Structure 1
Amino acid sequence: METDCTTPAPLPPGTRLLHIGPHKTGTTAIQGALFAAKDRLPECGVAFPAHTRHPMEAALAACARPAMMGDAVPTDRHWRRLLDQVAATGGRTSVISSEFFADARGDATIARIVEQLGGAGEPPLDRGRERDRTHVLVTLRPLVRIMPSQWQQYVQNGLRMGYADWLEHMLRRPPYEKPNPSFWHRHRHDRLVERWARAVGPGRVTVTAVACRAPSRRCSGCRRISSGPFRTPVIARLPSPRPKCCGILMSNSAAMDCRTSCIPVSSGAARCFI
């Protein structure tokens, strides 16, 4: 395992760096920092091709997922437009970030995303190295911090269940898929990394785990994108929900053991920076 005192090698020019989240791991802060630095990134040979902070509709369309409540319906046009924007970056390293890529289901869907993203802008004779051009970045956070924030997001999207009941369902009622089957699909982080590693290869997945006590280190794994300095604006510390029943989560630690968010680094599934 590599630590934050290890200087990672920069990614090759022309890499498509795909940050897939998952949800509630500082993705909004990272996307905001990248978008704010959009005009300065080309100095380091890096491009942020999306025209908005978060190309959510494109990611949802790529993963064949429905729209969020009250949002525009994602279509293939959104995904194709993002691919065109990536192609327009030429030989620069492109950074694409959306936590909704973590929702991609099935190896075939992930392989298609990798192929389309890696092939964007490639001449026909150079096709075939799409897999080699895509590098996946996964940002992680302790599960005890993720769960209250993710529950709050589900409530905003229509869930009608209190936090204590939700924890009971997600931690103690097999198969742990109700009321939100997307939760463990996103947050069994070992399986998430393995799914994407099967598509791009273990050497093209980087996992950055961030301690809650050091939010400013959240972007440390992003230093791989260029040989030059990668500087971002100060990341705002957003308040996290602290329900009174949060103690239930702590008392359920035994139930959480079988659904841990630890990465099996010994299996060589990814390179980790902690």
Structure 2
Amino acid sequence: MYSDPVVESFNVSTLPLVEAAALICHNAGSAGAQNVFTLNLDHIVKLRRDARFRAAYRRAGLITADGFPIVIACRLQGRRVSRVAGSDLIEPISAEAARSGKSIYLFGSNLQVLVKASRVLRERNPGLTIAGMSAPPQGFDPTSEDASRCLAAISSSGADLCFVALGAPKQELFSDYGKNVLSNISFVCIGAGLDFIAGAQIRAPRWMQRYGMEWLWRAASNPQRLLYRYLLCMGALPGLLARAALVPRRQRKFLS
């Protein structure tokens, strides 16, 4: 039977996409600002071996289910959880920010992607304020002096919320570090979301997303980088589901 105490205490939100986006935007720029992480199987694998990543996850303000294995595990525990991926959060958060007057900073990826994504988001959401953007260099250390300088730029921009597009675990580590410094800013980890908006990467078709096959599209698109990652994820899946289904309800802490 699967048992993994290092990840058992994470609380996955049951809020659907639009409600999660509204809450994130409402809290941004205030004392209620929170880091937003999106849990998936790749994160489960990394959490088992990375103590800093685990610590950052335990301090996150909101964790959503990014990936159908996490959704299924939650449902096996009797909890109605919807998939809320980082990439999916961008549009509703931007729309809500435009309505409520909250400003957004774009961080990560590369400058060309950020410029194009900024333009697209403003075209889709009239009145949206993009407070600034920056792309760190390759080899960026998310808790270094370079990171501190990036946080200073985010702070001086006046942004209420920051989309962080660095990939795991860098984006979560940077967000955790940033939240300690800029307590009123919400950091939302979005992976390749800005690349999708800018057209630098092509996201899986909707039907593949709907049926939990987006990982297959990504693996086929970049097998050299992603195939081994997904093999590790597949190895973690049986144990995750076994624990969700078989551990007595009163002992279930993971995904509860």
TM-score normalised by L of structure 2: 0.36
More helix by share: 2
Greater C-alpha radius of gyration: 1
